[in-house]
Structures are given as structure tokens and as C-alpha cells.
């Protein structure tokens, strides 16, 4: 009995000694090796999700936000029956089984099956507990207003890099650098958190953008532009609304358009921001250059007479006609009735050099500097390259290529008393905590005297009055100042001006004396009618009328009726 | 005296072993409590992240529902009130901000 006890106690003692030796080995001699092995098994590297900044409109309404999604991937080496897996997945994600099967039957250890799947679908797939199928959290950009302001906002690619619009231009502010974090996980992959380091709910946020766009104005503009685009069966249409004093773009839209939540299904033709990327010959809306230049140089006054009774004028051997024969017109009437003959006569008095100088002063042939990707400068040849007919053609808006935004900016200079402004769509960049990172300073330079701007504004008012070309642009309750344009397009086959294809436009501002908005409407190739006063002017009226209501701008006559003046008795205080 | 010392020594032995065992179990208990706490924290964080995700989904839904386009559609198709129309600007009365140090009065004429 005693012998057995000795053997047992010796065995236990040796057992303990062995354990102690092993512990000493683990904790002292091979500590580093075992620590490294434990770290390798328990510690995992996790990427903290990066969220792009939110894009707000000028009143703080969200135009671009982020949604949490999950991407589905596979490890083909772990999948035993790919057919069953492909079939099960196909039922839950919108993909054909053959496509999924092709991804499952590869030699690679990692393959994406579907990126950024909505959480509700992911849960269904997770419940299947398919071996070899994994999930990775990802952030998806979401535009809650659908296609609204699509050309301004732009979109991102699958890796959340900005590709178009302000998403691209302000990518460095919106995006943020991703960070890695190390987490402890157990054998089943459960996270062990000490509550201080990595957190499952932690995320890195980019800076937020505040746009100058107003969602309400944008909707009014797009709704009416849509109607006109469909009504006139136009090839394309563009409208821009701007604050003429600051250059803030209040609304900007093009047709055709696209859904920014699904840009891959849109043709490049739909994605183009024509307001800044497409050039056209402006036609009569360009007469503002000759008109203001002649006033500024003292060549004319509003009552200077021009004989337009011939109905045509020959310049460099080319005959340029008026649509209707007018007789003798004052300078004011030349603009009001949009006489080509009268305008060319003024242009000839002005001369090549001065005409070119004013074209450049108004910023044509140069980018406006708007902070949206893709702007083009258009083109204006220098006088040394002009032909004999050029001075006549350029005076009436031919032989130059401009963007709708450039034309709008030129009219804004009349509206604001002679300053050329720099248009912009982002007013402020804010940190996720709400601090200002960057704020735009409106830029403006004087290009005309206030007197010239005021005189020309009075002339532009007459365009929407009886005898003018844009009666249809007149807004009930507020005076509109503006100008129509009807320009022929070049026929690519004949290389001559087409008799069927036109660009109809109207550009103006309202209320004329204290403008709240300046706006341009450009309709390419309308069917059935061609004149800017018929095609584009009514669109201007509808948009302006609703916009003035939206902005609570009183009618011009509200001083006499409709403006309730209330003042407070000091005794009540 | 010697007997008492021997008895004390005899008691000290099991006591120190018990103390040793107790401290070992305390360490193990502490460690297991710590790990359990880590699981709890991680589980709460998971819940928090799900709630945050839901909040974002709701915010996205709210942003869609608050679109001006939807407002107009709902207003126009509001059959209870016969459908709303855009305000007639002639019927809109603008109230100018009150001025100080003037008697209280209201008028349609600017002073």
C-alpha cells in the first residue's frame, strides 16, 4: 500500500515538474515564438469602413448619402457542390446561375460574386450557411432624390471614387483615407472588444459639401424642362438658373438625363453635362456684346437710328437677312426686334478689335471656372483669323462657339450692374463635426459701367413687352429682361447651315430691376417650331413664375396691392 | 512552546497551499470575467452597429420621402381637399417686417 502511494506521489511530482518545465519553456525560453503564434491566430486585421461625406443642398437637404451594404465573395476551393451554391445564390441576388457558376469554378482562392448587396438580401443568404461563401461590409453611395441634379452631383464607381460632377471635383474632400485596425477574435471568429480600440460601429467619415443648388428650384426647373423637351421632341435641352450677383448656381439640368443610382445603364450621351461641355452658336443672344460695347464706347444711345429697311446687308460679299423687314429702327428697337441688319451695322461701327475686346471681356472663349468637372472653353477666333464676313456673322452670334453657362454669365453682368461673376456650385466644405473646412468667396470683376448695364437692362425689358420677340417670356407680376436666340445648326453632310435644325434659346433675369434669378433655356433641334420666343421663352416664364413663388418674391406691384405693411407700436414692447 | 510552533507550522502549510490555490483561481476567475466582459462589449457594439445601420436606412428613406417632387405629387393628388394647386401670386399677401419705434398699424400702402 505504502509502495503504491510512493509510486503515485512520485508520478504526480514528476508530472508537476514536467508541467513546470513546459511552462518555463513556454513562458521564458520560447515566449516570443508562442506569442507570435497566438497573435497570428487571434488577432485579425480589419479595415475600418470609409464613408464619403454627405452632399447637401443650400437648405441642408441631403442629395447624396451612404448606405451600409455587404459584398458577397467566394473561396472556390471550399465549395463542394458549386451547382447547388450557384442556384441558391441566383434565387436571392439578381444574377444568372451560369455567371455565378463561372465565378465558383476558378482556381483562385477569392472571387467577388456580387458587390454591395442590400442588407435584406444578404441576411437571406447568410441564413443558408453556405460553405465557401463569405461577406465583407461595404459602403454604397445613395442619391435619395434619384436623377435630380444628376449632372451637377455626378456619381462614383464601385470603389467609391468620384467619376463625374462635384463627386469627382471634390473627391479629395469627400473621400477619406482608409485605416486598419487590429481586433482579437476567438476560434469561432467572434470579436473580443475592450471597448477602447477597434469598434464594430466605428467609421471614418469624409467632409460634407454644401451646394448652392436649391432642391426646390432644381425640381421646378427640371419638371418644366422635361415637359418642353418632350413637347418639342428636342434632341437635347439645357437650363441653368443662377444668382446674378454672386454666381451661385441655383439649379442646372440637361435632357436627356439619367438615374445617378444606376449610372452604368446610362449612355455617355445622357451623362454629359451639356450646360458646360457642349458648345453651340448662340445666335441673337450674342447681340448683347455688340449692344453693350457700342453703348460703353459711346457709339450709340438708345435712340440712335439705323436704317434696316432693305431687310438685308452685305458683309464681305455675303448677304445676311432679317426675318422680317423692319424699316428704320432705333438702337433700342434693334435689340427688341432682334434685327440682324441693325446689329451688323452697329458691329461695323464698332470695328473688329473693339468687338473682339468686348467678347473677351464677357469671358467668351475661356472657361468660366465653375467647380464642376468637364467644362470647355468654347472658341472665339482672334481678328487676325477673321474672314471678310466674320464681323457680320460674329455680331449676330455666328462663327463663335459658346456654352450655355457662358451666355448666362454675360447676362448676369447686365443684371448685377456690370460685374462678371465666377459661377460655382459648392459654397462650403464642412468637416464631419460641422466645422468649416473651406468656404468659397464669390469672385466678380467689373466689365461694364453701371450706366451701360442699366441702360441695356431697360432695353432688354422691352424684349418681353409688346413689339418684342419674347412676349411669351413675360411673367405675371414681375418684369422680365432678356433676349431670344434662334441659331441654325451646321448640317454635317453639306457643311452649311441647316434649314431644318435650329437651337432655340432664351436668356434673361427677373425681377428685371432687382433680379433674384438669371436663367437660360436652350432647346436643341425642336420639332414644329424654331423661334426662341416660341420654344424657349414659355419655358422661362413657367420656371420663373413658379420659382418666384417658391422664393417668396413679391410682385412688382405688391407695393400698391398685396403687400401688408405691419409695424409695431413701441409701447407694446 | 515547541509543540505550539510545530502545530502552527503544520497549519501554515495547508493555509499557504489554500492561499496559493485561491490566488490562482482568482486570477483565472478574473481572466474569465474579463473575457466574458469583452464578449458582452463586442455583442453590444454589434447591436449598436446594426442600430446605426437601421438609422441610416431610415434617414435615406426620410430623405426620399421629403423630396419636393413627392410633396407636389401628394399635394396635387390629395383628393380629400380636391387637389392643391400652385399658389396664385395675386392672392399672396407679403407681410413686411415690423419696424421699431412706430405705432402699431397695418396697411397695404408702403410708408
Q: How far is the alpha carbon of A201 from chain B, nearest alpha carbon, in Å?
A: 5
Q: Please judge whether B92 and A67 are an interchain contact, meaning their C-beta atoms are less than 8 angstroms apart.
A: no
Q: How many CB atoms lie within 10 A of CB A43?
A: 11
Q: How far is the alpha carbon of A250 from chain B, nearest alpha carbon, in Å?
A: 15
Q: Would you say residue A375 lies in a domain?
A: yes
Please name the residues in contact with A390: beta carbons below 8 A apart, sequence gap of 6 or more.
A316, A352, A381, A383, A399
Q: How far is the alpha carbon of B49 from chain A, nearest alpha carbon, in Å?
A: 5
Nearest in space to A72 (alpha carbons), one of A29, A106, A119, A105: A119
Q: Would you say residue A447 lies in a domain?
A: yes
Q: For residue A332, give its domain range.
A: 215-426+443-557
Q: Would you say residue A393 lies in a domain?
A: yes
Q: How many CB atoms lie within 10 A of CB A397?
A: 26
ipTM score assigned to the predicted complex: 0.75
DSSP letter at A478?
Answer: B
Query: What is the rounded average pLDDT of the residues B95-106?
Result: 62
Q: Would you say residue A277 lies in a domain?
A: yes
Chain A residues closer than 8 Å to B101 by CB: 570
Chain A residues closer than 8 Å to B35 by CB: 192
Q: Please judge whether A145 and B67 are an interchain contact, meaning their C-beta atoms are less than 8 angstroms apart.
A: yes
pLDDT at B111 over 50: no
**CB distance from B72 to chain A under 8 Å?**
yes
Chain B residues closer than 8 Å to A201 by CB: 45, 48-49, 52
**CB distance from B85 to chain A under 8 Å?**
no
Q: Would you say residue A567 lies in a domain?
A: no
**CB distance from B4 to chain A under 8 Å?**
no
H or E stretch covering A451: helix A450-463
Which member of A284, A338, A427, A504 is catalytic?
Answer: A284
Q: Would you say residue A176 lies in a domain?
A: no
Put simply, the chain A residues between 241 and 280 with a CB less than 8 A from any chain B CB are none
Put simply, the chain A residues between 6 and 45 with a CB less than 8 A from any chain B CB are none
Helix, strand, or coil (residue A445): strand
User: Is the previous residue joined to B41 through a cis bond, with omega within 30 degrees of 0?
Assistant: no
Q: Please judge whether A568 and B98 are an interchain contact, meaning their C-beta atoms are less than 8 angstroms apart.
A: yes
| A-B contacts at Cβ under 8 angstroms | 138
Q: Which residue of B has its CA nearest to A548?
A: B89
Chain A residues closer than 8 Å to B98 by CB: 566-568
**CB distance from B73 to chain A under 8 Å?**
no
Q: Please judge whether A566 and B95 are an interchain contact, meaning their C-beta atoms are less than 8 angstroms apart.
A: yes
Q: How far is the alpha carbon of A301 from chain B, nearest alpha carbon, in Å?
A: 35
Q: Please judge whether B106 and A555 are an interchain contact, meaning their C-beta atoms are less than 8 angstroms apart.
A: no
Residue A395 is among the residues annotated as catalytic for this protein: no
Q: Please judge whether A560 and B108 are an interchain contact, meaning their C-beta atoms are less than 8 angstroms apart.
A: yes
Residues of chain A with pLDDT under 70: 1, 197-201, 559-573
Predicted pLDDT at A325: 87
Cell reading at A489? 445648326
Chain B residues closer than 8 Å to A552 by CB: 94
**CB distance from B32 to chain A under 8 Å?**
no
Q: Chain-wide mean pLDDT for chain B?
A: 81
**CB distance from A196 to chain B under 8 Å?**
no
Q: Would you say residue A9 lies in a domain?
A: no
**CB distance from B69 to chain A under 8 Å?**
yes
Query: What is the rounded average pLDDT of the residues B58-70?
Result: 91
Contact at 8 Å (CB) between A409 and A423? yes
Q: How many domains, chain A?
A: 1
Model's pTM, two decimal places? 0.85
- Phi, psi (rounded to 5 degrees) for A307: -85, 110
Predicted pLDDT at B7: 82
* CA–CA distance, A480 with A518 (Å, rounded to integer): 10
The CATH number of the domain holding residue A235 is 3.40.710.10
Q: Please judge whether A562 and B108 are an interchain contact, meaning their C-beta atoms are less than 8 angstroms apart.
A: yes
Nearest in space to A364 (alpha carbons), one of A417, A414, A407: A407
Chain A residues closer than 8 Å to B111 by CB: 565, 567
Predicted pLDDT at A572: 39
Nearest in space to A202 (alpha carbons), one of A213, A214, A191: A191
* CA–CA distance, A486 with A483 (Å, rounded to integer): 10
DSSP string, A250-299: EEEEEES---TTSGGGS-HHHH--HHHH--B--GGGGHHHHHHHHHHTTS
Q: How far is the alpha carbon of A145 from chain B, nearest alpha carbon, in Å?
A: 6
Nearest in space to A537 (alpha carbons), one of A150, A253, A247, A232: A232
Predicted pLDDT at B26: 93
Chain A residues closer than 8 Å to B105 by CB: 566-567, 569
Q: Please judge whether B67 and A219 are an interchain contact, meaning their C-beta atoms are less than 8 angstroms apart.
A: yes
Q: Would you say residue A307 lies in a domain?
A: yes
Please name the residues in contact with A106: beta carbons below 8 A apart, sequence gap of 6 or more.
A76
Q: Which residue of B has its CA nearest to A542?
A: B86
CB nearest to A562's CB, from B45, B93, B111: B93
Among B42, B45, B84, B101, the residue to mutate for chain A (most A Cβ within 10 A): B42
Predicted pLDDT at B100: 62
Chain A residues closer than 8 Å to B87 by CB: 549
Q: Please judge whether A566 and B96 are an interchain contact, meaning their C-beta atoms are less than 8 angstroms apart.
A: yes
Amino acid at each position: 500500500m505504502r509502495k503504491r502511494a510512493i509510486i503515485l506521489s512520485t508520478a504526480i511530482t514528476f508530472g508537476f515538474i514536467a508541467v513546470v518545465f513546459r511552462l518555463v519553456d513556454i513562458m521564458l525560453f520560447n515566449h516570443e515564438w508562442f506569442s507570435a503564434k497566438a497573435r497570428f491566430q487571434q488577432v485579425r486585421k480589419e479595415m475600418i469602413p470609409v464613408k464619403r461625406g454627405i452632399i447637401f443642398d443650400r437648405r441642408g437637404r441631403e442629395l447624396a448619402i451612404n448606405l451600409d451594404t455587404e459584398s458577397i465573395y467566394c473561396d472556390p476551393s471550399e465549395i463542394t457542390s458549386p451547382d447547388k451554391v450557384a442556384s441558391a445564390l441566383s434565387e436571392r441576388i439578381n444574377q444568372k446561375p451560369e455567371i455565378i457558376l463561372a465565378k465558383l469554378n476558378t482556381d483562385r482562392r477569392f472571387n467577388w460574386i456580387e458587390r454591395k448587396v442590400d442588407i435584406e438580401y444578404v441576411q437571406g443568404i447568410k441564413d443558408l450557411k453556405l460553405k465557401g461563401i463569405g461577406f465583407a461590409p461595404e459602403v454604397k453611395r445613395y442619391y435619395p432624390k434619384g436623377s435630380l441634379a444628376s449632372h451637377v452631383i455626378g456619381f462614383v464607381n464601385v470603389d467609391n471614387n468620384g467619376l463625374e460632377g462635384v463627386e469627382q471635383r471634390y473627391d479629395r474632400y469627400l473621400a477619406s483615407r482608409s485605416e486598419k485596425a487590429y481586433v482579437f477574435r476567438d476560434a469561432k471568429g467572434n470579436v473580443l472588444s475592450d471597448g477602447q480600440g477597434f469598434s464594430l460601429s466605428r467609421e471614418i467619415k469624409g467632409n460634407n459639401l454644401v451646394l448652392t443648388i436649391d432642391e426646390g428650384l432644381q425640381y421646378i426647373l427640371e419638371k418644366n424642362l422635361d415637359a418642353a423637351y418632350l413637347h418639342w421632341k428636342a434632341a437635347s435641352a439645357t437650363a441653368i438658373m443662377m444668382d446674378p450677383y454672386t454666381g451661385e448656381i441655383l439649379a442646372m439640368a440637361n435632357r436627356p438625363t439619367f438615374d445617378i443610382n444606376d449610372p452604368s445603364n446610362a449612355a455617355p450621351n445622357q451623362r454629359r453635362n451639356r450646360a458646360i461641355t457642349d458648345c453651340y452658336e448662340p445666335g441673337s443672344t450674342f447681340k448683347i456684346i455688340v449692344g453693350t460695347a457700342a453703348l460703353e464706347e459711346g457709339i450709340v444711345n438708345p435712340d440712335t437710328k439705323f436704317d434696316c429697311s432693305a431687310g438685308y446687308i452685305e458683309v464681305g460679299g455675303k448677304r445676311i437677312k432679317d426675318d422680317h423687314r423692319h424699316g428704320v429702327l432705333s438702337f433700342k428697337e434693334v435689340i427688341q426686334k432682334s434685327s440682324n441688319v441693325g446689329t451688323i451695322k452697329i458691329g461695323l461701327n464698332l470695328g473688329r478689335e473693339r468687338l473682339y475686346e468686348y467678347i473677351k471681356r464677357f469671358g467668351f472663349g475661356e472657361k468660366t471656372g465653375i467647380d464642376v468637372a468637364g467644362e470647355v472653353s468654347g472658341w472665339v477666333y482672334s481678328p487676325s483669323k477673321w474672314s471678310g464676313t466674320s464681323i457680320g456673322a460674329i455680331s449676330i452670334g455666328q462663327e463663335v462657339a459658346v456654352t450655355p453657362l457662358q451666355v448666362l454669365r454675360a447676362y448676369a453682368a447686365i443684371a448685377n450692374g456690370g460685374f462678371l461673376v465666377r459661377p460655382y456650385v459648392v459654397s462650403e466644405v464642412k468637416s464631419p463635426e460641422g466645422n468649416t473646412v473651406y468656404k468659397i468667396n464669390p469672385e466678380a470683376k467689373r466689365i461694364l459701367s453701371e450706366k451701360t448695364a442699366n441702360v441695356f437692362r431697360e432695353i432688354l425689358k422691352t424684349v418681353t413687352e409688346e413689339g418684342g420677340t419674347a412676349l411669351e417670356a413675360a411673367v405675371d407680376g414681375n418684369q422680365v429682361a432678356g433676349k431670344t436666340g434662334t441659331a441654325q445648326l451646321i448640317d454635317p453632310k453639306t457643311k452649311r447651315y441647316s434649314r431644318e435644325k435650329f437651337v432655340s434659346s432664351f436668356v434673361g433675369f427677373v425681377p428685371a430691376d432687382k433680379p433674384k434669378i438669371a436663367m437660360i433655356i436652350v432647346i436643341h433641334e425642336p420639332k414644329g417650331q424654331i423661334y426662341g420666343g416660341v420654344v424657349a421663352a414659355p419655358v422661362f416664364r413657367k420656371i420663373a413664375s413658379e420659382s418666384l413663388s417658391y422664393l417668396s418674391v413679391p410682385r412688382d406691384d405688391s407695393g400698391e396691392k398685396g403687400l401688408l405693411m405691419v409695424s409695431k407700436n413701441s409701447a407694446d414692447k | 512552546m515547541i509543540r505550539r510552533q510545530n502545530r502552527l507550522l503544520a497549519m501554515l502549510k495547508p493555509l499557504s497551499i489554500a492561499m496559493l490555490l485561491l490566488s490562482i483561481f482568482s486570477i483565472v476567475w478574473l481572466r474569465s470575467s474579463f473575457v466574458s466582459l469583452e464578449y458582452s462589449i463586442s455583442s453590444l457594439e454589434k447591436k449598436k452597429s446594426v442600430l446605426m445601420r437601421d438609422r441610416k436606412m431610415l434617414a435615406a428613406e426620410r430623405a426620399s420621402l421629403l423630396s419636393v417632387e413627392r410633396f407636389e405629387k401628394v399635394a396635387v393628388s390629395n383628393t380629400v381637399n380636391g387637389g392643391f394647386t400652385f399658389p396664385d401670386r395675386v392672392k399672396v399677401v407679403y407681410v413686411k417686417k415690423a419696424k421699431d419705434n412706430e405705432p402699431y398699424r397695418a396697411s397695404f400702402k408702403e410708408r
